[in-house]
Chains A and B, each alone.
Chain A
Amino acid sequence: MSQSQIANTSPSQRRILVLGATSGIAEATCRIWASQGASLFLVARNAEKLAAVAADLRARGASFVDTAVSDLDDTDAHPALLAHAVNSLGGLDVAYLAHGVLGDQTRAEQEFNTAAHILHTNFMAPVSLVTWLANFFVQRRSGVIAVLSSVAGDRGRKSNYVYGSSKAGLSAFLAGLRNRVDREGVTVLTIKPGPTKTAMTAGMKGAEKFADVNAVARSIVAAIDKRKDNLYVPFQWQPIMFVIRHIPERVFKKLNL
């Protein structure tokens, strides 16, 4: 059953919804889909950036590109937005959630509002979107929900535990959802990229050693095609995070990570 429609849908007929389409990893992923001829519905906050991304994807061969400018923090707007996207695409095969913020850890340590904002954008908003999408796909007994979480969610670290906990919550939510909908023919893919070279990480210390965003995007497209459940990308992060998760707490709390 789980080998249902998407397996039969050729990449060029695929209808894909992308939330947070102007983020670096999302844009790189969309370029691959565009070159395969997919149909895309793109959502982002900034109209000018969204238009530039949409024009690029049209030129690269997407069969169809439509866009909506929307602040995804506004969860009340989600149902109408998602219904509009499905309508525009004439159906839906893949939903890809790629929006999120790194946020300001130092400020979040001092004031709850900053932390709450990070948690809202990275956890509450995706929960709202994914809930709607899961129910939509369950009804049709097919579909893939692919969500960008992060290796930072595998263990809280002092340098970014607010961001990390939002991603930890998201990963746990997706694992539970997968457990619920897998038998209904719906795939839930949790993507855990390590540090990747994008606009979000530009200027960070050591950024020149971060993973190449196009290589990350190729792995994501392949994982969706193979209907995988979890993806660490680059794959070397899987054993690294295995070790990090298993460091005893009394040692871990003394480390400077």
Chain B
Amino acid sequence: MSLRSTGEESSVKAPFESWGRYPLYRANVIPLHWQSDFPAVTQNLHNGILPVGLGRSYGDVGLLKDGNLLVTTGMDRIIAFDPETGLLTAEAGISLAQILDFAVPRGFFLPVTPGTKYVTLGGAIANDIHGKNHHVAGTFGCHVTEFELVRSDGTVIRCSPSQNPEFYAMTIGGLGLTGFIRWATLRLKPIVSRKIDYEGIQFHGIDEFLALTEASKEIEYTVSWVDCTSTGKNFCRGIFMQGDHSTKRAELKRSPEPKLVFPFDAPGFLLNHLSVAAFNTLFFHKQIQKRQVTLQDYEPFFYPLDKVLHWNRMYGKSGLLQFQYAIPWDLAREGTVAILKEVAKSGLASFLAVLKAFGDVPSPGVMSFPKPGITLALDFPIKPDKSFPLFERLADMTLEFGGRLYPAKDAAMTAAQFQAFYPQWQQLARFRDPMITSSFWERVTGDQPNL
């Protein structure tokens, strides 16, 4: 049963889009299906390689211009699951959506989840992602007990806090550069219901946000949406959203299959400042009461945007970019106010501004992004002449306030900015697999693949 090709097949240089659809690079896209495919597929490759998952990073950490992208999503098998401990071992290309489909009916949930379930296990480790529970659970990497790293020369490195701990620490948040993550073991957490005890609270101004953060320390999930288009008395108004897994036993069925697909590129005029401001006002007033309390399914609570697959196309062909910083507590309030003012002043639109406090649970990852303080994530449609000068200004402000930016959401920071944000980068450079590189890495270090 050989799987040889027909005459139609060719090794295509296909566009592999990142979530922001910017920058657009061509690369050789090579799908992996079996654990033995790596490093076998690299045999005759002459350019750099980069393992990638579901392409949910916004900028260029998952892109490699004119190189080879090894797409892991065909490697999505479960290797073992222990219902006693909740330890799940799976191939790195499995998505968090697939893990939930498997785990929820068995009474388990992800220990940490980002705002979309369409990311892979490998991608979640490589960016050491965070969720709404960072203040109590830390990052994703805190719950990864073990994984296998395969280097392009064929060396297999078993990594855990006690086995090859330096590779463990460099790979969590290591942007895919230390080697290929073949499989990983994740500790799931028990639940008794799909439901979340949800509370949404309107706030006006950053001090109300900080007070709500302080008051909700014991609540597992907290996150806020801010209206970043308003100035004056509405400046920094928003909705504080908090929730806990419901402790009332209820049926643990699987989620229904997704249906809606956003099928076309929206024309740019839909996205002007006015329409976004209107959207924001609407969003704010959608919640009429000052406080809203409900029992909500976990899907809309964690993944409100996943209902519309490929909503990123709403931003049209030129793409979008997120800008996400973390600023430590001592300057967090000041920095956030200054940056929000700068954004409002620029008049550039943003649908979603997400504000959250990071807690002090340390990540095992050396290059991990979160640190205790405030994080803010903003979406911008890309307008080349206007966006990039703004991004550069915002990045400089972030630096002044002692913060740093999130590589998973970046396509704009300069090499000098990155190296100031992450002085550990030189350590990562030493642990990098010589064949592996990314457009991000080349941009922020000037490194070229060394083959």
Contacts and interface: CB of A to CB of B under 8 A. Distances in A.
B399 to A, nearest CB: 39
Contacts of B81: 59
Interface stretch (B27-35, B141-149, B240-248, B272-280): B27-35
Contacts of B6: 102-105, 159-160, 163, 204
Given A56-B79, A105-B7, A204-B9, A99 B1 contact: yes
A205 interface: yes
A103 B3 CA distance: 7
A204 B102 CA distance: 30
A99 B1 CA distance: 7
A48 B175 CA distance: 29
Contacts of A239: none
B79 A104 contact: no
A76 B272 CA distance: 70
Contacts of B5: 102, 104, 203-204
B35 A52 contact: yes
B100 interface: no
Interface string B17-31: 000000000000111
B4 A55 contact: no
Given A99-B1, A102-B4, A205-B8, A199 B33 contact: yes
B283 to A, nearest CB: 32
A20 B12 contact: no
A44 interface: yes
A59 B74 contact: no
A203 B12 contact: yes
Contacts of A203: 5, 9-12, 29-31
Contacts of B102: 59-60
B74 A60 contact: no
Interface of A: 20, 23-24, 44-45, 48-49, 52-53, 55-56, 59-60, 71-73, 99-106, 121, 159-160, 163, 199-200, 202-205, 208, 214-215, 218
Given A55-B80, A59-B78, A59-B80, A202 B1 contact: no
Interface of B: 1-12, 14, 29-31, 33-36, 74, 77-81, 91, 102, 257
Question: Which of B30, B74, B77 has the most chain A CB atoms closer than 10 A to its own CB?
Answer: B77
Contact of A101 (B3, B36, B78, B79): B3
Contacts of B7: 104-106, 159-160
B8 A48 contact: no
16 contacts: A23-B1, A52-B77, A59-B78, A59-B81, A60-B102, A71-B1, A101-B2, A101-B3, A103-B4, A104-B4, A159-B7, A160-B7, A202-B33, A203-B29, A204-B5, A208-B14
Contacts of A159: 6-8
Contacts of B3: 101-102, 199-200
A205 B31 CA distance: 14
Contact of B1 (A20, A48, A52, A218): A20
Given A59-B79, A101-B2, A163-B6, A52 B34 contact: yes
Nearest to B76: A56
A63 to B, nearest CB: 16
B31 A199 contact: yes
B219 to A, nearest CB: 33
Given A55-B80, A204-B8, 15 more contacts: A55-B79, A56-B77, A59-B102, A60-B102, A101-B3, A102-B4, A102-B6, A104-B6, A104-B7, A160-B6, A163-B6, A202-B31, A202-B74, A203-B10, A205-B8
Most chain B CB atoms below 10 A, which of A52, A121, A214: A52
A52 B90 CA distance: 10
A100 B12 CA distance: 24
Contact of B36 (A48, A102, A160, A205): A48
B88 to A, nearest CB: 8
